[in-house]
Chain A
Amino acid sequence: MEHTIVGYFLQFEIMKNLVEMASSTLGFNASSIIAFIIFLTASLILLLIAATIGGLGTFAERKISADMQMRPGPNRVGPYGIVQMVADFIKLFLKEDIVPVNADRFLFYIAPILAIVGVLGTFAVLPISSGLIISDLNVALFYAVGISSLVGLGIFLGGYASNSKWSMLGGMRGAAQIVSYEIPVILSMFTVILFAGGLSFGAILENQSGGPIGWYLFHNPFTFIAFFVYFIGILAETNRAPFDLPESESELVSGYNTEFTGMRYAFFALAEYMEVFVVAAFASALFLGGYKIPFNIGGDSLIGQVLQAGMFFTKVALIYYVVIWIRWTLPRMRVDNLMTLCWKYLTPIAFFNLIGSAVWIYYFGNKSMWNLIFS
């Protein structure tokens, strides 16, 4: 119970007083209602932040790509063009909604909703700081893997329901790619879960510390390899270049979202950029120590929470930058190379990591290689 945002607030006297006051006014125990209201508000704020992050992702993409190609990028709307995302949103908001006449209307309507809800659902377990987490489920990773597979479903349904050949090809490619790369990603997660001994982010972050030596990335050789397998896997799962085959704009027009216009297209684009953020956040929590700051400065106080959130967002922003950097550096892969890379390289490597970590646990327990070297 204490690993939620309400649990964090309830440590303070003022919250307890508020609950007691509400209880005496209403005549019954109001703690659940207060908790409900806090959760509702926190969810709303978090999801608005999530949407802003998605918008900032599109802005960052355009600005960084412009920087890499030595051109200014968007710079008209607001200082440095930072309000560009609002302009984009208003434009997409006012666009006509076109449904192809032969499309499967029901699936066409729900596909973008599935894609975006799949991403928003994962924000429930995102460990932004030790107090700011909607719910630290004891099956957080399992839940995240499950709910984020709705995105793949949305992409496939979007391609299928349009009844357009480009969309169909994109959707099929997207489904095949997302399900294939799910295997190495999950197996790399197992490597960390083995050492953490729990599926919740509380358990995963418990044994990591602020400094790089305490991260799972440098825990032992197997987790080190697992990080890179995970990273390649998330690039493919979020359809980022060099794995952007489902929407490869030069050969498939726009892939699965060819027929989508206006807000429905905006939801697909937003889902993609938010998913990059989410998987980058998971990468930072699993391998890079998440929100942990050195020497636990600030502790549980509000300043500590702000520092932790800053640490978290810094790490995620760095990973995000690398993801964009890779997109504008590498050319797109061919579809047969993509499948070969997944099934013939990443999956065997991930299995090797899993077996290696299991044997490591059996012989050395939870000791990291630094413990073994310096003891």
Chain B
Amino acid sequence: MIPYNFDVFMPVVILLFVGVAMVVVALIAAKIFRPHNPNKIKNQEYECGENPIGVAWSVFNVRFYVIGLIFIIFDVESALMFPVVTVFRRMRDQGMGGVVLIEVLLFILILLAGFAYCWRRGDLDWVKSYKRPEGESK
């Protein structure tokens, strides 16, 4: 007898729903009780008590962008590795371990080659050394 015909993800959806509901209810309930008297100075963003200069949405350091790119490559790699590492033991028991092992090693080696290239190029260094051209004064 199948006790109930839910999908296995149904409980997760219920839990997420309850979670969102709890958060929203707490926010709405707080809105009833809390005071609300804004003024111009209170609504400024905090800049150590001074009037803020400019906005924060400006050009930002490019190193974060490089880290993001490297991360995407590794994250896609890990998403692709999830199924392989899951079935690896089962495949070995069926006598196909060698094929999977070589596949995994090949995959990782290609990735590590890119990783070594990034490392060599200095993309993983947070602080890059600046070499001034000859003869330039400070």
Contacts and interface: CB of A to CB of B under 8 A. Distances in A.
Interface residues of B, number: 75
B113 interface: no
B57 interface: yes
B71 A39 contact: no
B52 to A, nearest CB: 7
Contact of A97 (B20, B36, B115): B36
Given A124-B11, A335-B126, A165 B89 contact: no
A310 interface: no
Contact of B101 (A95, A187, A362): A362
Contacts of B127: 336
Nearest to A101: B43
Contacts of A362: 92, 97-98, 101
- B interface majority secondary structure: helix
Contacts of A101: 40, 43-45
Contacts, number: 234
A43 interface: yes
A43 B17 CA distance: 9
Given A116-B19, A358-B88, A97 B57 contact: no
Looking at A112, A340, A343, which has the most chain B CB atoms within 10 Å of its CB? A343
B44 to A, nearest CB: 7
Contacts of A120: 15-16, 19, 22
Contacts of B46: 164, 166, 253, 258-259
B57 A123 contact: no
B43 A99 contact: yes
B3 A262 contact: no
Given A32-B6, A344-B119, A355-B105, A187 B78 contact: yes
Interface of A: 1, 4, 6-7, 10, 19, 31-32, 34-36, 39-40, 43-44, 46-47, 51, 93-103, 112-113, 116-117, 120-121, 123-125, 134-135, 137-138, 142-143, 160, 162-168, 172, 175-176, 179-180, 182-183, 186-187, 190, 193-195, 197-199, 253, 258-259, 262-264, 267, 335-336, 339-340, 343-344, 347, 351, 354-355, 358-359, 361-362, 365-366
Interface of B: 2-6, 8-12, 14-16, 18-20, 22-24, 26-27, 29-31, 33-38, 40, 42-48, 52, 55-57, 60-61, 64, 67-68, 70-71, 74-75, 78, 81-82, 85-90, 92-93, 97-98, 101, 104-105, 108, 112, 115, 119, 124-127
